[in-house]
Structure 1
């Protein structure tokens, strides 16, 4: 079978899963009855005080750092504080097994160090973006009952996110330059030896080379087929950038399904090179719900830049109450319908709770796009008050400024950097 025939076969198979997930989206109700504990005002204030106390302890511990002291003891104390945060139970009500929490924490620290080694100028937000993909892969590793680890392929694919996304989302770069970038990147993903045109391409091609060192192209063709699928999704997403459109003028949902679904499909294949039919369906669904959740998070920016998503398209003329209800129900359906080799309800609940909390936080941070009644109702499920959530990022930055003018600033900033990414 030649490469063209193989590619058509892969596309047909993926279109089958994309259509399954599309049907699941349309069949998800716009009426929502959340089965979650409501948190009253006084309990929210207690949680805010606990969270502030943890942050203050964290900053004080970072400030204590002295290069001449026993850094092993200092690190143990710092890790205890961050572990206390990641336990979540008394702040976020998210059930996180101790062993899984420890693995996530250690991988987070290792990833940040590797990212800074790869690119010392990389921005904290970019590391945070890449780190979120590592956590998704860690979740899939847990689902597949594989060792929770950071392979060079996992590191490299996750690092592709900030470099490619930032380039394609940059409104100062001409659309034709973006098309050329995508075309060259697609050929590199096909295995061609492409010379880089700029520093961004050089980094991107090096990361692809790292993946090739872990997964042989001949032995693991599905890894590279899925990488090319996400690149096809990126090409399609350029159609979202040139102008705002009305619903039904373009298949914006289809773009979200292909782009989001393919991204987590790659995550799945990077665990061990293979996925079952049930795992493919879950990865595509998980990717789509995360893509739409990201679109909700970015709705204000997308409207400003005239980037079209199913969220920004509706936000122009409608309140987003119903579509976010649909997104939460879709999230619950994707996770609940997933048939695991060994059923693990605790892990399913962890995935659902994290995703729903992400959606609810994004909702209240974009509250102008929702009815007042809807925001008031959803606030009851959040661990903090809306005012606290709205000021959280700014207040954290103010608190961490305390470190700026201190001795051993460079090492302290490095530790602060780790802490912020974990808190993000």
Structure 2
């Protein structure tokens, strides 16, 4: 079996030694620079609004190279300061093609899904595409990339549904676990039927007898999901137990990403991906601290007293920088651009999360970390709902096409 506990212990030690002092950042932004970025953001939003016009949206579909992608490149450059090396990765032809391909397949597979659900899955596609680059594999939507990314909109949303009882969630997890282990299991609803179809896609690409570690990685993430249910309205968990559950869930998730991309990996690569997953889980928990607290879901962050979160954000950033260095064991990580892109993206999302959840931080901490944000925090809060709705509107418009042309997964 995969040495998941060894990886948990390794990264818990890394977490414990990560300092809680304020990190050094490459860039800080004056008020005037922020205002310039915000004007650029407003200009980009205006262009998105123009794309709600059907004729213009169709024009984008016909020739995205001359319309949408240059506009998006300018947005990333002039609002968030991504450098040319980062942009070459984000806007490569391979990444453009797989995003569109995934959307069409997802809509054909699950017409009941909302664009927001498909966008949730696409974020995992982008992670797996990055792993394909690192493992020197073609960047494309394989059956397993599709299936694993579609599991998120179905299983995560079900497990996060406050309307379902803990007993119902545990019964679902038990049925899903049996099917994941190759045992016959009857789906009791549409969501489970869809999930079982996705597991079949894994089995078709990676036969169980030939790729045992692929399935061990899937068992590991299922175990992590099951253990995470202990964090829902559960009293009596120690800080160490909460940390273990958090690290197991996040690390196993990206470990499975890696096996569903490569089929086989070295122990060093397993550990590196586990750490990447832990880092992403810490980011998720920072982003969701308010929701987790209201739902009595225990995480490293939601258990803290309000306005005491800053030093843990600092620890997360220091931890992430060290954890990502282990990714250099992959042959495809040939330069600092790839790791730089990963780290900048996560750190900017972390900084944004601080601004959006400002009541959890001291005024002194907010003042300090806002200096490294390219946008004012009050601007981010004002734009949050508007930019989210516009992002999904653009997402749906850009990828929309007649059903007759859709690809079937």
Q: Does 1:93 align with 2:103?
A: no
Cα distance between partner residues in 1 of 2:341 and 2:388: 28
Tell whether the 8 Å contact from 2:250 to 2:280 is kept in structure 1 after alignment: yes
1:15 equivalent in structure 2: 5
- The alignment status of 1:175 with 2:157, answered yes or no, reads no
Deviations 1:126-174 (A, max 9, x none): 2222111111111211222222211121011011012111111111111
> 1:330 — aligned with what?
319
Paired residues of 1:295 and 1:309 also in contact (CA < 8 A): yes
The equivalent of 2:366 in structure 1 is 375
> Which residue is equivalent to 1:7?
none
- Normalising by structure 1, report the TM-score: 0.87
State the partner residue of 1:151: 142
Quote how far apart the aligned CAs of 1:66 are: 7.3
Q: How far, CA to CA, are the matches of 1:277 and 1:246 in structure 2?
A: 31
Secondary structure of the 1:312 match is coil
1:64 Cα deviation from its structure 2 partner: 4.7
Note if contact 1:367-1:375 (Cα within 8 Å) is conserved in structure 2.
yes
Indicate yes or no: 2:242 matched with 1:252: yes
Q: Structure 2-normalised TM-score? A: 0.90
Secondary structure at 2:316 match in 1: helix
Unaligned runs of 5+ in 1: 1-9, 404-411, 419-424
Q: Is residue 27–residue 372 contact of structure 2 (8 Å, CA) maintained in 1? A: yes
Partner of 2:403: none
Q: Which residue, 339, 344, 368 being the options, matches 1:353? A: 344
1:362 pairs with 2:353: yes
Give the SS at the match of 2:91.
helix
Q: Is the 8 A contact 1:264 1:283 kept in 2?
A: yes
RMSD value, Cα: 2.4
Contact 1:247 1:313 in 2 (8 A): no
Mapped partners of 2:189, 2:182: distance in 1: 19
State the alpha-carbon separation in 1 of the partners of residues 272 and 360 from structure 2. 30
Shift of residue 79, structure 1, vs aligned partner: 3.1
Indicate the residue corresponding to 2:175 in structure 1: 184
Distance 1:361 1:398 in 2: 17
CA–CA distance in structure 2, aligned partners of residues 317 and 385 of structure 1? 22
Contact in 2 for aligned 1:230/1:263 (Cα 8 Å): yes
2 CA distance for matches of 1:99 and 1:135? 11
Match of residue 406 from structure 2: none
Alpha-carbon distance between aligned partners in 2 of 1:134 and 1:61, rounded to the nearest angstrom: 25
Residue 320 of structure 1: aligned partner: 309
What residue number does 1:52 align with? Answer: 42
Aligned-partner Cα distance in 1 for 2:338–2:102: 23
Alignment partners' CA distance in 2, 1:368 and 1:277: 41
Measured against aligned partners, the alpha-carbon deviations of 1:247-293 in whole angstroms (never above 9, x if no partner) come to 44x60000011110000000111112011222111111010111111
What displacement does 1:184 show? 0.7
Displacement of 1:59 = 2.9
Counterpart selection for 1:303 from 293, 311, 317: 293
2: distance between equivalents of 1:175 and 1:359? 30
Distance 1:207-1:312 versus aligned 2 partners, 3 A rule: same
Kept in 2: contact 1:141–1:147 (CA 8 A):
yes
Secondary structure of the 1:301 match is: helix
